[in-house]
Amino acid sequence: MAEAERIIGTPDVPGTAGAGPEQSDGNAASGDRSGSHESATGERSGTDSGADSGADGTSATDERPKGKRRIAVLFTVAVLAYALDLVSKMIVVAKLEHHDSIEIVGDWLKFEAIRNAGAAFGFGEAFTVIFTVIAAAVIVVIARLARKLYSLPWAIALGLLLGGALGNLTDRIFRSPGVFEGAVVDFIAPKHFAVFNLADSAIVCGGILIVLLSFRGLDPDGTVHRD
């Protein structure tokens, strides 16, 4: 009997024979699940991190002004406005003051040289020094604001204001009757309206442009806000 068993061999036991492969498959499956879980966790972490980084990057980009500063435009417009005003006043003082007015469009528009101790269009002649201080303050504010200027329309508007303020401030300082009390030269005289000069025109145009830009929600730094 023992000899027969030796020749035929001991029969395989199903539980014993299959234990190795099944255990191996189970370990493999467990490893796959663990790997998949770690991969999924890593992907979610990477996605969340990327989303946070993207959100932070986007917000930082939105907060950072775009484009280049428009300081050159501001000062170019200011210099042109100031030069036109200065040259026109020199011509008026040399050629028109103490002479008869010149009719440009009949009685509707004349060139007539007058000295104005007040503000624009002849208002407030008793507050010459105050208007001088205000003009100087406007120039300082515009110069400080230029560092944050990224909007072209704002650069033009502030350049007009700066050139006009400089033009009238020059008269306040250097013309009679004295420093900071000088009378501004006005010469543009429409019918039924106050006499003014090119500096006054630049200030008014710049102010109107600023109001329009503010209504549109455009800030000097180039951003647009909606109230």
Distances, alpha carbon 142 to alpha carbons 149, 155, 157, 158, 163, in Å:
10, 10, 10, 7, 11
Cβ burial, residue 65 (10 Å; 0-12/13-18/19+): middle
pLDDT at 74: 96
Length of the chain: 227
Three-state secondary-structure class, residue 174 = helix
Query: What pTM does this model have?
Result: 0.67
Catalytic residue list: 186, 200
pLDDT band at 130; cut points 50, 70, 90: confident
Average pLDDT over residues 14-24: 45
4/108: higher pLDDT: 108
pLDDT at 128: 65
Asked if the model's pLDDT at residue 108 lies above 50, the reply is: yes
pLDDT tens across 90-105, in order? 999 999 998 999 999 9
Among 130, 134, 194, 196, CA closest to 165: 134
Asked if the model's pLDDT at residue 163 lies above 90, the reply is: yes
19/167: higher pLDDT: 167
